[in-house]
Amino acid sequence: MSNTSLNETHFDDDHFRDECGVFGVLDHPEAANLTYLGLYALQHRGQESTGIISTDGTNFNNHRGMGLVSDVYQKEDIVKLEGRIAIGHVRYSTAGDLGLRNCQPFMYQYAHGGIAMCHNGNIVNAEALRKGLEKDGSIFQSTSDTEVIIHLLAKSSGNSTRERLTDAVKQLEGGFSVLLMTETRLFGARDPNGIRPLVLGKLDGSWVMASETCAFDLVGADFVRDVEAGELVVVDPDGTLRSYFPFEKPAIKFCVFEYVYFARPDSTLEGVNVYQARHNIGVELAKESYVDADMVIPVPDSGVPPAMGFALEAGIPFQMGLIRNHYVGRTFIEPKQSIRNFGVKLKLNPNRDMIAGKRVILVDDSIVRGTTSRKIVEMVRAAGATEIHMRISSPPTKHSCFYGINTPTSEELMANQMNLDEMCKAIGADSLAFVSNEGLFKAVGKPRELHCDACFSGDYPVPVNEKRSPQLSLLRYYDKRPS
């Protein structure tokens, strides 16, 4: 391969990917700018594309693009997003995705006026809903679940936007948080199990909504509360917030992996501080799988809090033995000759002088396919470590997620195909241990019954066909339709 060719790679493709983050604000003179800043804070939830739509009460204005928030928006773009209401979105694309046409929010004019919508999550019955809508004459311009929701809303016979949105979300199965705006109102809805997060805040008397509280911290908003499982909130032009519960039996099943990996550590979700939960997981991990060593080293960044907790409980020094390059982009010039573990080395580098001759405990958040773990162990071994003990701050990931996380099939998950000893041998570690389910929920401080842990247990709160990914199924259905 030529050393001048540009090649795009995913060094982190051995981690789960949360596909979206959302932010919205009503009745603020800097609505678009606040949304831009909110998306900046939520960038970790999606780095493929981003969009903002605003309204001045009559016209909708939008700016969307592929890439990071810092790259897509310039000052002149934000200035053009006039109005006191705005919603925004960041996302990861799924396999087979067609880029900009799936970039949210989406904006439509229909019989009752203008609407804009974005959402975080995945609708497991999207393919069936889409087939029915197309059979009735609906035309789609994307492969996104969001557009399915919009068509359901447009077809509703409800007398108000709230009634039409209620009709739409009641037909959905899966995990989702939805933001919708009209020329005058802002709406937020959460699935009846509350799998995906959505929080409410206030800034200068204006209501704001976001996927995580860290977005409120950046813009200076005060956190008010989480949107409840199965709740639909409506913010009127005068700032009145109305709450509805359209689902018959809402029951919280919040995604526990938000605490392990997805959410930023400075966020608080469902009353739990993410950093503290991760630190506590490390404490429980040390209690369950102590091993004598010279240092505890995190795999940055999500491994840092649990590694600190592990080190504290075990009485072993915490060291930043792996240094992360924070300036790695998605495109690079590949070397002409092969460099072993090139993709991982581009992001992480072991501190040889610190590691050489030492017994090391490596703490990471998860093992998915196992490829990255193996490469990291090889790097640390090559740096001179005499022993490498891998500790994982989540239980073994044996099952795919179908509620908004872009994951491999179960057959690709190492823990689904191997036992603990086989996994340890495959990644080349001297020992391997995962935190137990009991330890995980003790660390979180809330019972398992209030969470979705299907990726560990296979206990799906919303029935799914695990033999196929609903994301890929919908994409393949779309691409195979006759022209």
Across 206-223, average pLDDT: 98
Look-up of token digits 């689904």:
416
Instruction: State the Cα–Cα distance between residues 83 and 63, nearest whole angstrom.
Output: 14
Work out the percent of the chain whose per-residue pLDDT is above 70.
Answer: 87
Instruction: State the Cα–Cα distance between residues 226 and 234, nearest whole angstrom.
Output: 14
Note the pLDDT tens digit of each residue in 139-173.
788 888 888 999 999 999 999 999 999 999 999 99
Across 273-280, average pLDDT: 98
> pLDDT confidence of 481, banded at 50, 70, 90?
very low
Across 278-287, average pLDDT: 98
pLDDT, position 176: 94
Instruction: State the Cα–Cα distance between residues 265 and 46, nearest whole angstrom.
Output: 16
Cα separations in angstroms, 383 against 166, 169, 359, 376:
58, 53, 12, 11
pLDDT at 96 over 60: no
pLDDT at 98 over 80: no
Q: What is the Cα Rg of the chain in Å?
A: 23
> pLDDT confidence of 24, banded at 50, 70, 90?
very high
pLDDT at 10 over 50: no
Instruction: State the Cα–Cα distance between residues 272 and 365, nearest whole angstrom.
Output: 18
Cis peptide before 204 (omega within 30 of 0): no
DSSP 251: -
Q: Which CATH fold would you assign to the domain 15-253?
A: Glutamine Phosphoribosylpyrophosphate, subunit 1, domain 1 (3.60.20)
> pLDDT confidence of 295, banded at 50, 70, 90?
very high
Instruction: State the Cα–Cα distance between residues 234 and 189, nearest whole angstrom.
Output: 9
Residue type, 63: H
Q: Where in the chain is the domain with CATH 3.40.50.2020?
A: 273-446
Three-state DSSP class for residue 434: strand
> pLDDT confidence of 476, banded at 50, 70, 90?
very low
Average pLDDT across the chain, whole number: 88
Three-state DSSP class for residue 94: coil
More confident residue, 6 or 308: 308
pLDDT at 260 over 90: yes
pTM more than 0.75? yes
Contacts of residue 260, defined as CB under 8 A and 6 or more positions apart, other chains included, come to 278, 281, 302, 365, 366, 393, 394, 440
- Residues serving a catalytic function are 20
> pLDDT confidence of 479, banded at 50, 70, 90?
very low
> pLDDT confidence of 240, banded at 50, 70, 90?
very high
- Dump the DSSP string for 348-366: EEE-HHHHTT-EEEEEES-
Pick the CATH number of 273-446 from 3.10.105.10, 3.40.109.10, 3.40.50.2020, 3.60.10.10: 3.40.50.2020
Residue type, 170: K
Please, are residues 286 and 434 in contact by the beta-carbon 8 Å criterion? no
Across 225-230, average pLDDT: 97
Least confident of 96-100, 228-232, 472-476: 472-476
Please, are residues 400 and 466 in contact by the beta-carbon 8 Å criterion? yes
Q: Where in the chain is the domain with CATH 3.60.20.10?
A: 15-253
Does residue 83 come out as left (phi exceeding 0), alpha (psi in the -120 to 50 range) or beta? left
